[in-house]
Structure formats: structure tokens, C-alpha cells
Homo-oligomer: A and B are copies of this chain.
Amino acid sequence: MSSISPLARPFPELPDIGGVQLRVAEAGYKYSGRADLTYVELDEDTAVAGLFTNNVCCSPEVELGREQIKAGKARALIVNAGNANAFTGHRGREAVEAIMAQVAGHLGCEPGEVFVSSTGVIGEALPQDKAKAGLEAVFHAERCSWEEAARSISTTDTFPKGATASAIVDGKTVHLSAIIKGSGMVAPDMATMLGYIFTDAAIAPEFLQQLLAAANEKSFGCITVDGDTSTSDTVLTFATGRAGNASLSSFNDPGADAFAAALDDICLQLAQLVVRDGEGAQKFVEIRVTGATDDDSARNIGLSVANSPLVKTAIAGEDANWGRVVMAVGKAGEPADRDRLAISFGNTRVAEKGLAVEGYDEAPVAEHLKGNEIRIAIDIGLGDGRAKVWGCDLTHGYIEINADYRS
């Protein structure tokens, strides 16, 4: 891994999840001297839910995953790091199907219960021989830690990323442990976001899918590094049911709200960790939008601001350039009225009613912008819609990573 992001967080203590076994091995797809094949074995009757990239030019793993998820059952997860297997046509699809068949043979399950993700170099089909030998090795490997698994799924990430949450459901404590990789999209790889959440809660797959989609709206759907969208982005949630709670199937079930809150929480932690490893990021930016006509409008405005190269460079330059924020609000295509806008940096209101606040105290603003956790608040002044989004600054580091490179 290259030099660690200044916004990194230490890897937390994650509890084991009953019914989940982690193993890693070296398949040698691209890297040497590190694990690059991750194998997660799941108990029978594990429920699964998943979300996949909206990019229409997706990888075969994503195409297959979208189909597999419909049955709602999983026995294994395989993650390949170093080769994205994207834009590889039928050979790429065959490589994924071979992995599914091999793991299914080992476990005695259906191939459709084996979920596969790949991340890394594009345009080269995943080498079937390396995958096959890697799987043979990983089946017999010792079980490993969450942190080892988090490192094994990483590509250009500068630090391993994990999160945990818990809830009381039906009198039982259920745990969630998760790992994620992603740091923007890196040349020549598609440095894809791949996130995996494991819980011992018992929950019906349809309800799990509903909760995951809702959690996504306020987490992965509210982050941006560069506005580009990987062709392989995937978030999967596996529920083994080993906690022994009465299975959750709707919000009418006791503890469903608590589980949903825990899932929201862990998704938000994971999403923010990805932003903290944004390419070249020196500052983590939270944008809070209030007063929009509705929540979706607020989120679109927030993402327009978070994605604006001019806002992102202003933050890199520690410049309280509220005019660029107004510009980015105005181009979002959402209802806004220049003369009702109010903008704050940190705790200081710098503009209101579309005008600079006369004689505002610049010292705390300058102090806030020197830090690496930046808060921008935007009040649209039209309604009750609100959203928070998270992004990062745009620095020379981004250009270095993505341009000062030849494939």
C-alpha cells in the first residue's frame, strides 16, 4: 500500500459472526507477497441481499450477482484482488462460472449460492489456472482475522477498512461486522468499492434487501470521490441467523427498527471510510443541506456541491469561497432561489439571502478550513428537505495518482 491517507482511521475490533469463516490465500493475480484471494464460508441457510453499480457497462461478476441475489441464499463469497475481470467478454464470464462451480463442488451447494467479486486491472480475463490453484489453497488455509480479510480485498487502498454495529433483537444481541475496499477509481484499475456486511441476525432476504436499499440511500448513495462510477461496485449483506432471534420479516417484528438502525450505522461508517481513502484526499468534507423542497432534492444539491471541481479545489486551497458553493447549488437542476440561500463554513455563517454576511468573523472560518474535517452547511430556504453528503477535496495528489502514470 502506498503512503497512508491523512484521513485514515485505525482498524477497529470486530466481533466474530457465528456462521462466518474467513480465509485468505495468494493466487498471484497481480501482487506477490500478499493475500489476494478471500474466501468467506457461510452457514447453510444464510440470507443475502445486495446492491450493484448502476453503470450499464458492468463486470460479469455484477451481471451474475444481480441474478443470484434474487434467490436470496448464499453459502460463500470469493473476492479476487488485482484483476477486475472487466471488459473481458465471454472469457471473463467463464472464469467467474468456473470459480462458482469449484466452490460449489467443495461445499456441496448450488453454484448460484457462491458470490464472486473481482477488482483490479481491467481488460484481462481472470486467469482460470491461478483462480483454481488459489481456491485449492484457500479451502485448506487457517481461518484469518477481519483485518487480514480487509487487506486481502484491497487494491490501491492506503489502509484496511472495517466497521461494526450491534442491536438487540427479540432479546438477543445481534452483531454486524463488515469490511470494505475502495478509494476512488485508480488507473489502470477500476478501484471499485466492494463492501461486505456479515450479521448473525435471522432475517428474511426480501426484508434484508429492503433495509439495505434504504441504508444505501443515506450512506453509499451520499458519498463521492470524483463523481466517476466503477463498473464493479458491489455491497453484499449476509445474515447467518446464528444469533437465534425470531426471524425478522417486516417492520412489525420486534427489533426490526433496532436492526435497521444498526445496518444504517454500519453502512454509513463504511461509506465514510471510502471517502477517507479518496485519491489524493487531504480533507474530509461533510455537506449538510437543509431547506430543500424534499430530501431527494437536498441530496442532489449536496452531491452537486461535493462533486464540483471548483468547490473541491477551493477546499484544498482552504478558501472560504461561498460563491462557488452558490454556483454548484444553482447548477444542480433542483429548485433553489439565490436570494434565500444561506451558507456556513464550520459554525460561521458567511452568506445569507444570497449575499455575503457583512463583517463576519473570518478567523474561525480560516481556522476551520485549515483542519482536515470540513463542514459546509447550506440552507436553501424553500422547504423541509434535508440531506448530508460526504466528499473530499481535489488536490495535486489526485492528478499524480491518475495522470502521472502510464499503463
Q: With A321-B407, A396-B396 given, is the CB distance from A88 to B327 under 8 Å?
A: no
How far apart are the CA atoms of A331 and B302 in the complex, in Å? 19
A18 at the interface (CB under 8 A from B): no
Q: For chain A residues 324-338, which have a beta carbon within 8 Å of chain B?
A: 324, 326-331, 333, 335-338
Render A266-299 as a binary contact track against B, CB cut-off 8 A, 1 for contact: 0000000000000000000000000000000000
Q: For chain A residues 109-135, which have a beta carbon within 8 Å of chain B?
A: 122-123
Is A57's CB under 8 angstroms from B402's CB?
no
Q: With A330-B57, A341-B57, A353-B89 given, is the CB distance from A313 to B395 under 8 Å?
A: no
Q: Residue of B at shortest CB range from A60? A: B338
Is A310's CB under 8 angstroms from B402's CB?
yes
Render A210-236 as a binary contact track against B, CB cut-off 8 A, 1 for contact: 000000000000000011111100000
Which residues of B have CB within 8 Å of A173?
none
Q: Residue of B at shortest CB range from A339? A: B89
Within 8 Å by CB of A398, from B87, B313, B331, B404, lies: B313
Within 8 Å by CB of A395, from B123, B336, B403, lies: B403
Q: For chain A residues 315-364, which have a beta carbon within 8 Å of chain B?
A: 316-324, 326-331, 333, 335-339, 341, 351, 353-356
10 interchain pairs, CB-CB under 8 A: A54-B333, A57-B338, A58-B330, A87-B326, A89-B339, A190-B323, A317-B403, A317-B406, A394-B403, A395-B399
A309 at the interface (CB under 8 A from B): yes
Is A328's CB under 8 angstroms from B89's CB?
no
Is A316's CB under 8 angstroms from B55's CB?
no
Q: With A88-B355, A323-B86 given, is the CB distance from A330 to B56 under 8 Å?
A: yes
How far apart are the CA atoms of A188 and B231 in the complex, in Å? 36
Q: Residue of B at shortest CB range from A188? A: B321
Which residues of B have CB within 8 Å of A403?
313-314, 316-317, 319, 393-395
A187 at the interface (CB under 8 A from B): yes
Which residues of B have CB within 8 Å of A227?
307-309
Within 8 Å by CB of A329, from B57, B190, B328, B398, lies: B57
Within 8 Å by CB of A327, from B185, B319, B337, B394, lies: B185
| CB-CB nearest 4 A-B residue pairs | A57-B330, A313-B402, A55-B330, A317-B403
Q: Residue of B at shortest CB range from A328? A: B228
Interface residues on A, range: 35 or more
Within 8 Å by CB of A330, from B229, B317, B329, B336, lies: B229
How far apart are the CA atoms of A318 and B58 in the complex, in Å? 25
Is A336's CB under 8 angstroms from B57's CB?
yes
Which residues of B have CB within 8 Å of A402?
309-310, 313-314, 317
Which residues of B have CB within 8 Å of A122?
323
Q: Residue of B at shortest CB range from A57? A: B330
Q: Residue of B at shortest CB range from A227? A: B309
Q: Residue of B at shortest CB range from A317? A: B403
Q: With A321-B407, A338-B56, A399-B313 given, is the CB distance from A89 to B187 under 8 Å?
A: no
Which residues of B have CB within 8 Å of A394?
399, 403
Is B319's CB under 8 angstroms from A351's CB?
no
List 19 other contacts, CB 8 Å, given A395-B399, A395-B403: A56-B337, A56-B338, A87-B355, A185-B310, A187-B313, A187-B314, A187-B317, A226-B310, A227-B308, A228-B308, A229-B330, A229-B331, A231-B327, A309-B402, A313-B399, A316-B403, A319-B403, A319-B405, A399-B399
How far apart are the CA atoms of A38 and B76 in the complex, in Å? 70
